Chain A
Amino acid sequence: MKPYLREKTSFSFAEVPSDTSFEAGYLVSKNAGWRSIRPVIDIEKCVGCMQCYLYCPDGVISIENNKAVIDYDFCKGCGICKKICKINAIEMEAEKK
């Protein structure tokens, strides 16, 4: 369960609700454009300790097959994950413009 991107991103007059109540977790835009640097996980080094997952303010790190995986659609590139990683398995790399 997680808010996710929807296909329908704009609403006509008739489609706008009459009250301020709407489906929970309805996303229409990504946050990828915010980054100037991106965390890159060294899969060889990663031991799946989950500390980066635990401390990510955006919740964009999940653990799959005991390795950290980043959702770059929503990562803002803050670098907390790199700082928290005790085994230096995360590097911050410049975003290519």
Chain B
Amino acid sequence: MKKFLSGNEAFAEGIRLARPAIISAYPITPQTIVVERLSEMVECGSLRSEFIHVESEHSALSCAMGASAAGVRAFTATSSQGLLYMAECLYYASGGRFPIVMMNANRSTALPWNIYGDQRDSISQLDSGWIQAYAENAQESLDLALMSYYIAEKTSTPFMVNLDGFVLTHTYEEVDIPDEEQADKFLPPYETDNKLDLDDPKNMAFSAGPDYNYIFKFKEHQALLNAKKIIKKAEKDFAEIFGRKYSGLIENYKTEDAEFILITIGSIAGLCRKTVDKLRAEGRKVGVVRLRYLRPFPTAELVGSVKNAKAVGVPEKDISFGNEGTVFTNVNSALFQGKIAIPSYNFIGGLGGKNISHEDIENIFDLIENGAERVNFIGIEVE
């Protein structure tokens, strides 16, 4: 069935099809629409979940962990300050190997206060042990909502799906909504041994001293690396059932013969592709790589896409103060691992929702072709 939906609404449709038993969430702009739609679905009976009105984001994820430890599928959603407020629970959920799914509406973090989109909230939590995906459009948001449970549950790893605040969460597009039978075929009910069980009692979320702690952490790391394979399998199964194909950890656009490539995440990729089309028409060999996942990081895939390029640029809505953009750091690590010794440039922009224009992207292509500072700030001219 086709419907005109915003990113938030499309995501809510995906969650409806995933049938979590428990939804615990606390409102924060621009996440609110997804929990409002889910509440409506629970009210009208199209979703048989219990919606728990928790008193904070910390409680939202703590409650979801309780539900997951009780052996059921759980969902929460947040954004920005809320994500930071629940940060303790992010590490707890991954360490406990609870396959919870969370939607994060990417938004700037205070101070100064700002409700608009950048990606500093989720990128600050890259080390928390969650799989992190970044959707580009409403259809992908819905599909990721379904696929995230498949991947989370097969890797016993929590999954954060990021949607650019407003630009994606509040923008309407035509979305194909799968029917429930198809969704059930793709995503069977959740089964786990990682649960409290009256017939087989467990002690859970325990301490582990120096003799064992590192083993738990190593296994957690292995599970995230293993997610690369599971993601491929999920997309293969998804394509067979729903007919929509995804390209794994990254999505290449005209990179095959490209000399100059932009590497980016989220909804800005569309703008980059349009710019590539324009520049290609002018005879320039340019391309775009969209990182669909930041964790696990697509090192090998990225290396494969940029190995013949002359230079790359990383525009991102994030900065690690005192260093550079974190996506850029990760990209450089991949280049180094792939022994690709080409110039790479970072373009920090879009912080606090500042618009990034077609001209900005064109300018970035000019800069990486002609050489620039290592780290550049879009739209800032220091006198």
Q: Is A–B contact present in the complex under a CB 8 A cutoff?
A: yes
Query: Residues of A with Cβ closer than 8 Å to B?
Result: 11, 13, 16-26
Q: State the Cβ distance, B20 to closest chain A Cβ, in Å.
A: 19
Contacts of B200 in A (CB 8 A): 23
State which size class the interface on B falls in: 20 to 34
Complex contact A22–B212 (CB within 8 A): no
A10, B206: Cα distance in complex, Å: 16
Q: State the Cβ distance, B92 to closest chain A Cβ, in Å.
A: 10
Contacts of B204 in A (CB 8 A): 20-22
| CB within 8 Å of A: which B193-249 residues | 193-195, 200-206, 208, 212, 215-216, 219-220, 223
Q: State the Cβ distance, A27 to closest chain B Cβ, in Å.
A: 11
- The total of Cβ contacts below 8 Å across the A-B interface reads 47
A22, B204: Cα distance in complex, Å: 6
A20, B206: Cα distance in complex, Å: 6
Complex contact B195–A20 (CB within 8 A): no
B27 within 8 A of A: no
Contacts of B205 in A (CB 8 A): 20-21
Complex contact A20–B193 (CB within 8 A): no
Nearest CB in chain A to that of B205: its residue: A20
Complex contact A21–B195 (CB within 8 A): yes
A26, B203: Cα distance in complex, Å: 9
Query: Residues of B with Cβ closer than 8 Å to A?
Result: 95-97, 156, 193-195, 200-206, 208, 212, 215-216, 219-220, 223
A25, B208: Cα distance in complex, Å: 16
CB<8 Å pairs between A and B, sample of 17:
A11-B212, A13-B215, A16-B216, A16-B219, A19-B96, A19-B97, A19-B156, A20-B97, A20-B205, A20-B208, A21-B96, A21-B202, A23-B200, A23-B202, A23-B203, A24-B202, A24-B203
Complex contact B223–A21 (CB within 8 A): no
Contacts of A22 in B (CB 8 A): 202-204, 206
Complex contact B95–A20 (CB within 8 A): yes
Nearest CB in chain A to that of B96: its residue: A20
Contacts of A20 in B (CB 8 A): 95-97, 204-206, 208, 216
Q: State the Cβ distance, B184 to closest chain A Cβ, in Å.
A: 26
Q: State the Cβ distance, A84 to closest chain B Cβ, in Å.
A: 30
Contacts of B96 in A (CB 8 A): 19-21
A21, B202: Cα distance in complex, Å: 6
Q: State the Cβ distance, A2 to closest chain B Cβ, in Å.
A: 12
Q: State the Cβ distance, A19 to closest chain B Cβ, in Å.
A: 4
Nearest CB in chain A to that of B193: its residue: A21
Contacts of A21 in B (CB 8 A): 96, 193-195, 202-205
The 8 closest A-B pairs by CB, nearest first: A24-B201, A19-B97, A19-B194, A16-B215, A18-B219, A21-B204, A21-B194, A24-B203
Complex contact A18–B97 (CB within 8 A): yes
Contacts of B215 in A (CB 8 A): 13, 16
